[in-house]
Structure 1
Amino acid sequence: MPFTQPQASIFADYEILVNGSSLPGSAQLHITGVTVDEQVNLPTMFALTFGSLDVQEGEVLWLDNSLFSIGNTVEVKLGYRENLATLIIGEITAIEPEFTIDRLPKVMIRGYDRSHRLHRGRHTQTFVQLKDSDIAGQIAQQVGLSSQVEDSGVVHDYILQANQTHMEFLQERAGKINYEVMVEDRNLVFRPTANQDSEIITLTFSDDLLQFYPCMSSASQVNEVKVQGWNPKEKQAIIGRATTGDEGSKMGGEISGAALSQNAFGTAVKTLSDRPIITLAEAEQFAQARFRQLNLELITGEGICRGRTDLRAGKVVQIEGVGRRFSGQYYVTSVLHRYRDSQYQTKFTVRRNAE
């Protein structure tokens, strides 16, 4: 949804559905703020703030209403007048009232998408002769979610989930292969970090991009990652490597973080030997994953734009109007959608792996 007029924010609007039904108009009158906070590899959170609540016969309006009970399903839509989009379908997990002597009570209703269920309880189980993508599919089935997984390629002899929440375990596995974990409604997504995708929207400074604070740093850049392991059957050392050229897409840039730092400061190697690696395929996959993760830290940034429901974590955005060095594609790592006082703004953080 392009923004050609600055006054578009005047027409910002929202819709809240609880258990599939629209919020009563009398409840909407008391809403003072709507927030949706989305981050890669973390549960997406929503928060609804209700202010100036009346106290009648010992009950606080809406605070004591069964409409806002723990576990109820909430759908949050934001946007502009007739063009609203769903940002989250989640579940209420917290009710936070605020009582002060000098004003009427207010309450915040907070909840998360269904990935919060993956944080409940700790589990110990083993997986034999399976890929990480197979394991993600199995865990989704265990918690009653459907799954959308992309083949991770390498079969592991033995993997242990050792007294971990499902999300801790999946994030650990995802981190080793440069994957990301998220839940979209009732669907568990396990896929490669999507910084190689084409951009979905363009943000232009002084148009819909209001503030942008990028930082280019060579601090974490290396031109080689080396992973060392040991094969107990063959009694042989295993070494997997990833070097300049293995960074994948340069996101429209000309020179990667690895090459940029090598040209400026010479060779730098990061060696990893603290994880159980028993096959060459595992070592090479882990080396490439860590190399790409480090490259993606070359440029980091945060910004604020006019409210955009199509700006989502895990997507790629094109940023323009900020000079040759910092204009280009960025991978979005977090997005905060905020509606307050009839105004809608989106705050975001991004990363890029090349100049």
Structure 2
Amino acid sequence: MDLDTFKPTFLIQIEGQDLSKDITQEITSFVFTDNEEELDVLELSVTDRNLQFVDDPLFQEGNEIVARFGYVGNLSPRKKAVIKDIDYDFPENGDPTIRIKAYDKGFKLAGKENQKVWQKPAPGILYSEIAEQIAAANGLTPVVTATKGTHLRVTQSNISDAQFLKELAEKARDRDGEGVSGYVFYIQDDELHFHPRELDQTPLLTLEYFTDTKGLLRSFRPSTQSQGAKGAGVETKTVGVDPRKKDVVEHKANNATTPERTALGKQTYLVDGNTGEGSFKEQETGQIVPSFDRSEGFHEEPRQEPAQDSAEGKFREAELRQVEADAATIGIPQLRAKKNVEIKGVGRKFSGIYYCHSVRHSISGAGYLCELKLKKNALGKGAGDKSAESQGKPNDKEAPPTPQNEPPAMVTIDADSGAVTQGGGNG
């Protein structure tokens, strides 16, 4: 990976018009944050010393921005966002400044709360069909994997389309199996994504602490969430009622019952949710969730209960927060959220593949830097004797090697004349 780190740059279009050099030279800060769980955000700080940009039609709410960033000859893919927030600062001393915030098109789905019943004649509607319909209604291209399991009706109760799709994603699955439930939903440019999280993908690149001669990885700060590996608090349970049997039904998901999930490590600590805390924490397993899915009724018996899908999805989300880490690197335009990266040189416990759920690209007077937020659902072999072996399918794929600088050729120089006598080539 050859990066000319002395020449970071960015290219910006607003409403299809390229910003000229006399405008871009007034941009003092460029930040793009690529997120999975939140909206992507593009932030610009513009010096407006002559007040020429306050009324400029380009720098107004509702305009679409297309940006690329990185280095000359090595730019990121195009990123699209829509200007939503603009702050103006007219200080007593110094130049006026405009701060622009633009968000991805997911803001269309995140605002209005809707109440709707999604239904379709027997055999019923799929979660993936709901995602496709929401994409079409918002002018987005669906990137959707067909789900398993039909439903006569699915209720959206006074929540936004974005929150609704997140809830469906947590219990969606594309095949039958043990531990296969769990999709991810996000907006990428003009696309609506609703499909399994790709934990089994090959890492995008390797970042190595200290020993990497290119110095890509500046810092790495991991933290674990673990309070015991055994007991009632290491699983997620859904509780509902079977209207046909007039009886309570329970479904559980834990390390042993979800062997078909992808594991980003060998060992696992599962947090005991029964720790005396007043409320269940998002990163803990042990939550008990009411489920009404079974009560809706089916025209035929499902291959897998919806309540089991919900239990597995919540367990996988909690387990994926078992290890969380912050990393800082030099600017790498290829870094993206929703991708795997491999971390080396931080001990057997923490070295391995991580899922990147947020990347912040920042270009300013300090240069081009990246800040990553990573998570991982298992630890390495250095986790200790109190850990248990993860029962998931391991991701053993290796990232492409990071190119290393070749050492300079050895030469011999005559001490009297200064002439190169050996190893200097023909030049």
The TM-score with structure 1 as length reference comes to 0.89
Per the alignment, residue 345 of structure 1 pairs with: 369
CA displacement at 1:286 relative to structure 2 = 1.2
How far apart, CA to CA, are the structure 1 residues paired with 2:366 and 2:221? 26
CA contact (8 A) 1:209 1:303 kept: yes
Greater mean alpha carbon deviation, residues 74-83 or residues 241-250: 241-250
Structure 1 unaligned spans of 5+: 262-267
Report the 3-state secondary structure (helix = DSSP H, G, I; strand = E; otherwise coil) of the residue aligned with 2:101: strand
Greater mean alpha carbon deviation, residues 191-200 or residues 294-303: 191-200
How far apart, CA to CA, are the structure 2 residues paired with 1:349 and 1:269? 21
Does 2:274 align with 1:250? no
Match of 1:276 among 270, 287, 292: 292
Per the alignment, residue 320 of structure 2 pairs with: 296
Match of 1:44 among 36, 40, 46: 40
CA contact (8 A) 2:128 2:146 kept: yes
Match of 2:17 among 18, 21, 33: 21
Which amino acid is the alignment partner of residue 313 of structure 2? A
CA displacement at 1:69 relative to structure 2 = 1.9
How far apart, CA to CA, are the structure 1 residues paired with 2:25 and 2:285? 59
Per the alignment, residue 175 of structure 1 pairs with: 170
How far apart, CA to CA, are the structure 2 residues paired with 1:181 and 1:173? 9
CA contact (8 A) 1:77 1:87 kept: yes
CA displacement at 1:197 relative to structure 2 = 2.1
Match of 2:223 among 215, 229, 241: 215
Q: How large is the RMSD of aligned CA atoms in angstroms?
A: 2.2
Per the alignment, residue 74 of structure 2 pairs with: 83
Does 2:217 align with 1:201? no
Aligned-residue identity in percent: 25
How far apart, CA to CA, are the structure 2 residues paired with 1:325 and 1:100? 50
How far apart, CA to CA, are the structure 1 residues paired with 2:78 and 2:288? 39
Per the alignment, residue 343 of structure 2 pairs with: 319
Cα distance change on mapping 1:220 and 1:105 into 2, 3 Å: farther
Per the alignment, residue 12 of structure 1 pairs with: 8
CA contact (8 A) 1:12 1:343 kept: yes
How far apart, CA to CA, are the structure 2 residues paired with 1:272 and 1:95? 43
Which amino acid is the alignment partner of residue 239 of structure 1? E
Does 2:243 align with 1:232? yes
Greater mean alpha carbon deviation, residues 223-232 or residues 338-347: 223-232
Count of matched residue positions in the alignment of Structure 1 and Structure 2 = 338
How far apart, CA to CA, are the structure 2 residues paired with 1:226 and 1:165? 26
CA displacement at 1:190 relative to structure 2 = 0.8
How far apart, CA to CA, are the structure 2 residues paired with 1:335 and 1:220? 31
Per the alignment, residue 264 of structure 1 pairs with: none
TM superposition outliers: structure 1 runs of 4+ over 6 Å? none
Cα distance change on mapping 1:269 and 1:41 into 2, 3 Å: closer
Which amino acid is the alignment partner of residue 32 of structure 1? T
CA displacement, residues 297-326 of structure 1 (integer Å, 9 cap, x when unaligned): 221110100112222111111011111111
CA contact (8 A) 1:146 1:186 kept: yes
CA contact (8 A) 2:116 2:157 kept: yes
How far apart, CA to CA, are the structure 1 residues paired with 2:110 and 2:224? 34
Which amino acid is the alignment partner of residue 325 of structure 2? G
CA contact (8 A) 1:54 1:105 kept: yes
Per the alignment, residue 400 of structure 2 pairs with: none
Structure with greater strand percent: 1
CA displacement, residues 179-226 of structure 1 (integer Å, 9 cap, x when unaligned): 221112211001222223221111111320101000122149754332
How far apart, CA to CA, are the structure 1 residues paired with 2:154 and 2:70? 44
Report the 3-state secondary structure (helix = DSSP H, G, I; strand = E; otherwise coil) of the residue aligned with 1:198: coil
How far apart, CA to CA, are the structure 2 residues paired with 1:87 and 1:212? 28
Structure 2 unaligned spans of 5+: 173-181, 273-283, 296-303, 380-427
Give the alignment of 1:47-86 within 5 angstroms. 47-51=43-47, 53-55=48-50, 60-86=51-77
CA contact (8 A) 1:238 1:278 kept: no
How far apart, CA to CA, are the structure 2 residues paired with 1:302 and 1:199? 17
CA displacement at 1:87 relative to structure 2 = 5.3
CA contact (8 A) 2:285 2:319 kept: no
How far apart, CA to CA, are the structure 2 residues paired with 1:309 and 1:132? 34
Cα distance change on mapping 1:271 and 1:112 into 2, 3 Å: closer
Structure with greater helix percent: 1
How far apart, CA to CA, are the structure 2 residues paired with 1:276 and 1:19? 46
Does 2:141 align with 1:141? no
How far apart, CA to CA, are the structure 2 residues paired with 1:62 and 1:173? 43
Cα distance change on mapping 1:345 and 1:273 into 2, 3 Å: closer
CA displacement at 1:85 relative to structure 2 = 1.4
Report the 3-state secondary structure (helix = DSSP H, G, I; strand = E; otherwise coil) of the residue aligned with 1:270: coil
Cα distance change on mapping 1:43 and 1:69 into 2, 3 Å: same
CA contact (8 A) 2:228 2:269 kept: no
